[in-house]
Chain A
């Protein structure tokens, strides 16, 4: 059914349709509206057969989810930013134990400095924990990916993170098509655990494993993600067949077949990128884009296929490997192993800095002329940066950096363009 609703609400409705049995929640901006929506549905009785637990920290949230999932029920939680870091130990634990928990990440920057707005640093910090990571481009896709995520998680016995841009998607009102219960039930059957805490058939979960077997256990989790490279497109295809729209999959290409310049990105910025691609195409440029949906497992082969004939690839990332440059770029470069082309990393949108059509247009035009640095920080205020560097070279006690910069910018804490 078509609705005009907040992204978070759409996701909450999708989760509810998946018949979760335990939901645990700890508030953190910008995911709160999702769990609040679900909490209301449980309390009002709209979502039956589900326990909703208010926990005292994100570490507790994922731990409760671990217990519930190990006891054989479909489990869900959500977090962002600092919360994801606070539960980091449990994130690795859930993957290591092979528990099919689905968790939404409302992508938000990690402090210090504290920042509530969007970027991908949170989910990127957990990219190697063993969870599958899927990035939604739109609120429709966010909704759809959660349904696919439960199916994927349970078939593989592997937890799945569905990542959606905080505020940009979570707090945006969009038109979405919410499937009906029957359709979802047909796609997502009952949860059949591979392991379960059951007095009728006792098992010990969470044993210590020493050098004699640890490598094998870890290899098997790696292998699981490699199997996901096949399963993810299969489930996306099945989804399309049943629900009538394309959602998910490993990557999505846009006008890239004959493109000389291809832009690669994750999440909602792809919408803006596609608009710019269209503008530039109508001006004769041979430019296209690729949206990566599955970041873990990383789609090396499909990316290689999509990028191999380009002259240059621009990877636009909302995250930063401090001291190195790009994170996504590393994966992209790996996919192009042996192929020579010009690769550019653009760090953009950190902490919610808007990525505008205008800036992207200028950026892509510079790329086309190969007039880009290896690593570019999009729309960086060079004056502010050099002023701070000068202060630091002139005195020792320069005070907190963030405060100094904010004072220089004036009372408005963030500028839009």
Chain B
């Protein structure tokens, strides 16, 4: 039973999550469960409103519940690793290893191989990292893990830039976004159009058993996808959009709202794929123009002002329309 078979759908408005109180206990989210492991414990040093902390907590607790707490996590260098393990403390209540920036997928392959060698088939492995560690420097190892179909779930927390080092551009940075290395100056302000890497599609090209995109605006959907992923053996990839208030220039309390706007504009489609083919998608309830999503973010401030950059905004809109068509998001 996959996420698409959920009997209960929750539609979130504003930034308020619909409560679990109306549901029977066994229908509540993992986070509502008293037995959740709280794998990423409080006390970490993430920024207010950090999308990644939110996403990681939901994802890892879901994975722990799905595996009866038999989980090992491998973390790439990045915000999550840095804010969760400030010496001499750690927020992680699960076995966790951080090796390097670009090798999380390979280290995870090694951990998984060790479990096989030890005959511990019930212990599962998650590799996780930000977009930088996944789409750029970790790309080779990621592809290797996919190609071998190693039994690893890789979770990418995508905040669309190298945030930990001061907001530099990555291959996940969207066009027109301002970063420290794609400043909003000159004839083509912000990140250049026509660049960028769609890792979920690349994961699909490897024909791995399961690929999914998720967003911190749809937390139950996120939990369900991770839970489902843990029922499958082999290489799996979940790509989660996690707004970064600091890097995106948004208010900390607007993280979930912004993530929802990304989904509802069509810029971040929510879908699942099995062995290289899209098998389900979450339709857009109420489409919003991309400007509604871009305007609250200071990283796109240069597109708005006395004379809005209608040409670039239109190009972004075209990208959204293309996604809507591709994934039939309005059908």
Do A and B touch each other in the complex, judged by CB within 8 A? yes
By a CB distance below 8 angstroms, the chain B residues around A97 are 99
Q: 1/0 per residue B86-100: CB within 8 Å of A? A: 111010111111111
Interface, chain B (partner A; CB < 8 A) = 69-72, 74-75, 81-82, 85-88, 90, 92-100, 102-103, 106-118, 123, 140-141, 143-144, 147-148
Could you say which residues of chain A place their CB within 8 Å of the CB of B147? 56
In addition to A70-B107, A199-B70, 16 A-B residue pairs with Cβ atoms within 8 Å of each other are A22-B117, A56-B141, A57-B144, A59-B106, A64-B106, A67-B97, A67-B112, A67-B113, A68-B113, A93-B100, A197-B111, A199-B94, A202-B94, A207-B85, A207-B86, A212-B87
Interface pick from A47-55, A221-229, A360-368: A47-55
Contact A60 B144 (CB under 8 A): yes
Return chain B residues, CB-CB under 8 Å to A93. Answer: 99-100
Most buried by A among B75, B99, B144: B99
| Residue of B81, B103, B110, B123 with most chain A CB atoms under a 10 A cut-off | B110
- The reply to whether B140 and A24 contact each other, CB–CB distance below 8 Å, is no
User: A22, A24, A66, A204: which contacts B99 (Cβ < 8 A)?
Assistant: A66
- Bound together, the chains give a CA A339 to CA B282 distance in angstroms of 79
Within 8 Å CB of B102, what residues of A? 59, 89
Judge if A209 is at the interface, Cβ distance under 8 Å.
yes
Inter-chain contact B117/A51, CB cutoff 8 Å: yes
Identify B113's interface contact among A51, A207, A209, CB under 8 A.
A51
Report the bound CA distance from A67 to B72 in whole Å: 10
**Whole-angstrom distance between the Cβ of A156 and the nearest chain B Cβ:** 20
In contact, B117 and A64 (Cβ under 8 angstroms): no
Q: Inside 8 A of A67's CB, which chain B residues have their CB?
A: 74, 97, 99, 106-114
Asked whether A71 lies within 8 Å of B85 as measured between CB atoms, the reply is no
Q: Are A73 and B114 in contact (CB under 8 A)?
A: yes
A346 to chain B, nearest CB (A): 38
A205 at the interface (CB under 8 A from B): yes
Quick check: is A345 within 8 A (CB to CB) of the other chain? no
Asked if A203 lies at the interface with its beta carbon under 8 angstroms from chain B, I say yes
Task: Pick from A66, A68, A89, A199 the residue with the most CB of B within 10 Å.
Answer: A199
8 A-B residue pairs with Cβ-Cβ distance under 8 Å, sorted by A, are: A22-B113, A50-B117, A59-B140, A67-B74, A68-B111, A199-B123, A202-B96, A205-B98
Given known contacts A202-B93, A207-B87, is B113 in contact with A90 (CB within 8 Å)? Answer: no
Given known A-B contacts A22-B114, A68-B111, A208-B87, A56 and B96 have beta carbons under 8 A apart: no
Which of B86, B93, B116 makes the CB contact (< 8 A) with A51? Answer: B116
Q: Given A67-B108, A72-B118, A207-B85, are A60 and B103 neighbors across the interface (CB < 8 Å)?
A: yes
The reply to whether B90 and A63 form a contact with Cβ atoms under 8 Å apart is: no
A residues with CB within 8 A of B:
21-22, 24, 49-51, 53-57, 59-60, 63-73, 75, 89-90, 93, 97, 197-199, 201-210, 212-213
Residues of B within 8 A of A204 (CB): 85, 90, 92, 96-98
B100, A207: Cβ atoms closer than 8 Å: no
Of B70, B111, B112, which is in contact with the most chain A CB atoms at under 10 Å from its CB? B111
Contacts of B70 in A (CB 8 A): 199
Bound-state CA distance A64–B107 (Å) is: 5
Q: Which residues of B contact A89 (CB under 8 A)?
A: 100, 102
* A-B pairs, 8 with minimum CB distance: A67-B110, A206-B98, A71-B114, A56-B144, A63-B106, A63-B103, A67-B107, A64-B110
CB distance from A126 to the nearest CB of B (A): 16
Shortest CB distance B84–A (Å): 8
- A53/B87 in contact, CB under 8 A: no
Contacts of A210 in B (CB 8 A): 87
A75: chain B residues at CB < 8 Å are 110, 114
> Would B72 and A197 count as touching, CB distance under 8 A?
yes
Which of B74, B95, B108, B114 has most chain A Cβ within 10 Å?
B114
Contacts of B99 in A (CB 8 A): 63, 66-67, 90, 93, 97, 206
CB <8 Å contact, B97 and A70: yes
In the complex, the answer to whether A206 meets B110 with C-beta atoms within 8 Å is no
The complex places the Cα of A210 from the Cα of B85 at a distance, in Å, of 11
Which partner residue on chain A sits nearest B118 by CB separation? A73
In the complex, chain A residues whose CB is within 8 Å of the CB of B113? 22, 24, 51, 53, 64, 67-68, 73
Contact residues in B for A201 (Cβ distance below 8 Å): 95
